[in-house]
Amino acid sequence: MTPVGQYFYQHGQDLLANYNLLIDQTKQIGEREKDNYTLKLGYLRDFDTSEFLQAVTEFSKKYPEVKVRIHSGNREELFRLLRDDRIDLNFSDLRRAPSNKYVNEYLTSSSFEIVINKRLVRGSKKITSHELAEFPYILIVGNSEKDSELEYCRTVLGIESNFKLVETYDEALMQVISGADIF
């Protein structure tokens, strides 16, 4: 064998050994990650959880090797966790314009619900948005989200009226139905 052949043969053997080692170690890492992977989900505390939990249950049945960890929080907390790579997916409403930093997918749509006591509309079947702006508002919000929700209603929705804060839909509905003087 010539010196060039000897050199090529020796280094070729080293390359093949390193290549095989690289393939084996990559497979081992992949198997460890698959076995130990945890999908970290963020879920808005104010949302109804029934559909979400059903989806997580079905996912867990289909992919039992993936552990699922759910973090429930308010909007700001969840977006901070997403930004800091501490959650993989954030199920929340989109209170701001979609961000180019994330993939924004609309899974469902919802609308605002306005419930007005009959005595406040005085027999009218229609009400204008200008008239609506003068009504007192009941805002359903948890204590930890109070400040951000009030800011959103005032700055984004432009509502200047006073708010009565309640924690549940049922509590708000009772206030409206009873015609309670909420201020």
Sheet containing strand 38-44, edge to edge, reads 67-73, 38-44, 89-91
CA 87, 169, 89: angle at the middle one, nearest 5?
10
Place of tokens 């805002």: 139
- Evaluate whether 138 touches 176 at the Cβ level (below 8 Å): yes
Q: What is the pLDDT of residue 133?
A: 66
Residue 129 located in a structural domain: yes
Residue 26 located in a structural domain: no
Residue 99 located in a structural domain: no
Q: Are residues 79 and 130 in the same domain?
A: no
- Evaluate whether 62 touches 54 at the Cβ level (below 8 Å): no
Residue 125 located in a structural domain: yes
Q: Are residues 87 and 130 in the same domain?
A: no
Q: Which of 73, 91, 109 is the last residue of a domain?
A: 91
Each residue's pLDDT tens digit, 152-166: 778 777 777 788 888
Residue 82 located in a structural domain: yes
The number of domains in the chain is 2
Q: How confident is the model over 131-137, as a mean pLDDT?
A: 72
Residue 147 located in a structural domain: yes
Residue 21 located in a structural domain: no
State which residues form the domain around 174. Answer: 118-178
Each residue's pLDDT tens digit, 28-80: 777 766 556 789 999 887 776 788 888 899 999 998 888 899 998 887 888 88
Residue 3 located in a structural domain: no
